[in-house]
Amino acid sequence: MPEELRQAALQVIQSFLAASDIACSLQGGGVRFARWPTVGVFVTHAEHEENSYPSGEQISLVHLDLAVALNVEREDSLIVSCATGIGAGLGDAVANAADQWCACVIPPIFSLLHQQAMYGTLWLPDGLPGWDLFVSPYVMRGQDVQADLGPFLEQQPLVVSLGHALLAELPPERMFNTVMLYRGQNGNNVFVDCYINGEKSEPAELALLGLPWPDIERFHSVRLFVFCMRSQG
């Protein structure tokens, strides 16, 4: 993994956190937190590609694999996820990927650390049978996507619409599980990703692909992160 990609992503994450008044620093190969010294954010893999279009436009694409260690001394505390960014250059694409990840994953993680919903996170006790949920804000891309897609997602939240499919994929023996959902569409082309604890879930992806969706022809996408804890009820 090119070291410059990893460092660039970590610097974007540090800046995002600092802008949210979260004291942190770059150390030990990741971002560490003043209030929670055992917690760290790490970039475990990064890759990029360049795409040229007939118009002559050059677009950079960056994919990041990231991990949050709730306790850097314990491998079983890792929360793994990923993000993809696009931009006119490599720096823009790295920043876009890291920003997308921060906006989606950081709110539920810090809600967990504070034990209260923060930064737009939704707290759903027993949101899935047997599991209490911290649900991230929707992270959307696309022109006017909030106006076009926001009301639909308010009426039909993804975590509710996919409840049965997600519940069937959550390992019941774990103390916590994580879910990352992504749906993108450009015209008639639809792309979906669903990761359970960092592993792709084809049943959940098929369920996401089969959901009714507003008729939006231009490119748009939505990403959601869910932290699931065993219900205390």
The owner of tokens 């639809």 is 190
At residue 53, the pLDDT reads 65
Residue 180 and residue 59: Cα distance in Å, rounded?
Answer: 25
* Tokens matching residue 36: 């929670």
pLDDT at 76 over 90: no
Where exactly are the structural domains of the chain?
1-116, 121-233
Nearest C-alpha neighbor of 113 from the set 173, 37, 175: 37
- The reported pTM is 0.92
At residue 2, the pLDDT reads 77
**Domain 1-116 bears CATH identifier 3.40.50.1220:** no
Buried b (16+ CB within 10 A) or exposed e, 49-76: eeeeeeeeeeebbbbbbbbbbbebeeee
Contact criterion met (CB below 8 Å) for 120 and 105: no
Q: Determine which of 50-54, 93-97, 108-112 has the lowest per-residue pLDDT on average.
A: 50-54
Contact criterion met (CB below 8 Å) for 6 and 43: yes
Structurally, at CATH architecture level, domain 121-233 sits in: 2-Layer Sandwich (3.30)
